Amino acid sequence: MSDVVRITFLPGGETVTVPPGTILSDAAQQAGLQMNLPCGGRGMCGKCLVIIEQGEVSEPSEAELERLSAEQLAEGLRLACQTQAVEDVVATVPPASRVIGEKVLEADFLAGVERAPYARQHWLELSPPSLEDQRSDFRRLADALAETYAGLVAYPQALRGLSAALRDDEFRVLATCTGNRLVDVVPASAGGRCLGAAIDIGTTTVVSYIVDLGSGEILSSAALHNPQTQHGADVVSRIEFANREPKGAAVLREEAVGVANETIGVALERIGADRREVFDATVVGNTCMHHLFLGLDARYLAEAPYIPVTADPVDLQASEAGLDIYPRANVFCLPCIAGFVGADTVGVIAAERLTDREKPCLAVDIGTNGEVALWSGERLLVASCAAGPAFEGAQIEAGMRAGPGAIDHVWRDGEDITVTTIDQLPPEGICGSGLFDAMAVALETGVVDPMGRFVPDEDGLAPQIASRLQGEGNDRRIILAENSGNNGPIALTQRDVREIQLAKGAVRAAVQLLLAEVSLDVNDLEEVLIAGAFGNYIDPASALRIGLLPPVPLEKVRAVGNAAGAGAVLALISRGERGYACQVARAAEHIELMRKPEFQMTFMETMLFP
């Protein structure tokens, strides 16, 4: 047995040298890889599965024998938190076992927001009862809080332990209320915090932010892959799964709730907090995620006329939602607007206070389903467009998700083209941001014309560029880089360009039609906001160059990060912000683009490149 062993994690190839006997999850952390350990690495949750590809490891622990079948063990599946490396090891970390980089929150969105959370904790010292003062225990407490709550009522469960809690520490208690309801009373000596969880259920990624509701500070966060992805990358295929499979909807709900619980667990673990300290939760997500999370029938979202079960704000208890936090914590699901304009869009509008602006402003959230919100200065219009999965790398020949080895940027480098990849690994494919850049470069170099056609011959092209062109017809392509894998070189093809045209045309058509609705011109826009993680990775110049965004000066474009998540955090911190979200959802006018006679004509135009 040597005194160090070398552990390599796939697919990223992160490598670390550690003493033999090191637990794999510890080694992963040293390698800069965040494992999913909601149970704190005690072998209880079975969430840190790895596949041992090579090398000897310790015998399965009792916890592993309990959680893994003989078959799974035979296939090399192990729990990273239980397994020690005996010699050099190569292990694959599946997406579900990995905590992914959090979605970015703009740092300043909390500035100036009033701290008035829906859930509040109060330290109280009450006078003890006597024959002269026979008020009930609850009335005594409610009277002490009368200035804060006009008509405090109590959950019966909170009443059940009230008498003992009051008498345990001489009528000094910590009382926690949500809205005007008493949810929990403990003796002051028992202590405890009042935390909130803002949950952003994305189609691909689920992230939770843990907020100290006393200070309004974000203490922690965690993101995980949405396990629903295994049933389809986009919302429509998940609805099909729900309709097709027996209990499909129940499976999708369990997965959404389960992954929300896991993100909360990981985020709480990081700050040493307990699930029962979380007294409030807010939820954003597109209308489909919202419905699946709540166990609502998503069937009619996917067929015309695209009707949600409800778009109103929904409040429910954590135990009803299945969230593993304080059982009677309130869960506030931000309202949606329409079948394809969800609570995530409401979150963006709320976080950016779109309707507080004097001048017109456009917010665009780009994904498989694009959402566009336009504030005209007087009216708030929203629309959705089916951009298709091209921007997420699907239906693109060399497309892949934004993971290690994906080409994320493409430049014109003198007379040639150069690329960078995520984690500087050998290129394996191209992700959305790289695709935009490649398309912009193809236009800039004259390889593709404004109609979206590859030039038939190399005349007039720089020689290095010309040498990259191959194929004919729909297979015509420009080589971007050699592939590190077994497939051919990574290229942008004629077919890919057509997919990009359809996608960006849909987004632009939505923008054009909304502007026309309020008789505004692109030049009237004060700002164009790009929401979503995507916005943080794409090059706005490329987005402008290919005409995904309307033609505004580059300085008017701003990436606002995970503004949907920011909206959920704001709703935790301030009842006023929560009310604002409800108000904008009601005020928003949803424009159904399919109904517009001019839709097809506009779409044809917006598919062209500038």
The contact set with a second copy (CB under 8 A) reads 129-139, 142, 153-157, 159-164, 294-297, 299-300, 304-312, 314-316, 320-321, 336, 338-339, 590, 592, 594-595
Nearest approach in angstroms of CB 339 to a second copy is 7
Strand partners, 430: 399, 407
Nearer to a second copy, 305 or 485 (CB): 305
Q: Write down the least CB distance from residue 388 to a second copy, Å.
A: 21
Q: DSSP of 544-583, one letter per residue?
A: HHTTSS-S--GGGEEE--SHHHHHHHHHHHBHHHHHHHHH
* Phi, psi at 139, each rounded to 5°: -65, -40
CB 499 within 8 A of CB 540: no
Strand partners, 558: 529
CB of 597 to a second copy, least distance (A): 13
Distance of CA 565 to the CA centre of its chain: 7
CA distance 11 to 345: 33
CA-wise closest residue to 224 among 236, 208, 239 = 208
Report, in Å, the least distance between residue 231 CB and a second copy: 20
Instruction: Give the separation between CA 400 and CA 430, rounded to whole angstroms.
Output: 6
Of residues 143 and 472, the one with the C-beta less far from a second copy: 143
The rounded distance, in Å, linking the Cα atoms of 40 and 78 is 16
Helix (H, G, I), strand (E, B) or coil at 468: coil
What are residue 494's phi and psi, to 5 degrees?
Answer: -55, -40
In whole angstroms, the minimum distance from the beta carbon of 592 to a second copy comes to 5
Residue 424 and residue 403: Cα distance in Å, rounded? 11
Nearer to a second copy, 56 or 315 (CB): 315
Residue 198 CB, shortest distance to a second copy, in Å, is 19
Q: Which is nearer to a second copy, 116 or 250 (CB)?
A: 250
- Of 9 and 118, the one with the shorter C-beta distance to a second copy is 118
Which of 569, 534, 160, 542 lies closest to 368 in space, CA to CA? 534
Tokens of 200: 């952003």
Using DSSP's 3-state secondary structure scheme, residue 452 falls into coil
C-alpha–C-alpha distance, residues 25 and 371, integer Å? 39
As a whole number of angstroms, the distance between CA 49 and CA 91 comes to: 10
Q: In angstroms, what is the minimal distance from the CB of 312 to a second copy?
A: 6
Closest separation in Å from C-beta 219 to a second copy: 28
Q: Which C-beta is closer to a second copy: that of 131 or that of 150?
A: 131
451 burial (CB, 10 Å; 0-12 / 13-18 / 19+) is exposed
Residue with Cβ nearer a second copy (142 or 144): 142
Quick check: 202 and 159 in contact, CB under 8 A? no
What is the C-alpha to C-alpha distance for residues 402 and 536, in angstroms, rounded to an integer?
12
Give least dist CB 134 to a second copy, A: 6
* Least Cβ distance, residue 334 to a second copy (angstroms): 14
- Rounded least distance, CB 315 to a second copy, Å: 7
Nearest to a second copy of 58, 157 (CB atom): 157
- SS3 state of residue 405: coil
CB of 136 or CB of 583, closer to a second copy: 136
DSSP secondary structure of 135-202: --HHHHHHHHTTTT-SS-EE-HHHHHTHHHHHHHTTTEEEEEEETTEEEEEEEGGG----EEEEEEE-
Structural element, H or E, at residue 220: strand 217-225
Query: Closest CB to a second copy among 151 and 473?
Result: 151
Q: Which is nearer to a second copy, 322 or 432 (CB)?
A: 322
Measured from the CB atom, is 78 or 291 closer to a second copy?
A: 291
Beta carbon of residue 100, minimum distance to a second copy (angstroms, whole number) = 29
Provide the minimum distance between the beta carbon of 308 and a second copy in the complex, in angstroms, as a whole number: 4
Q: Which is nearer to a second copy, 140 or 409 (CB)?
A: 140
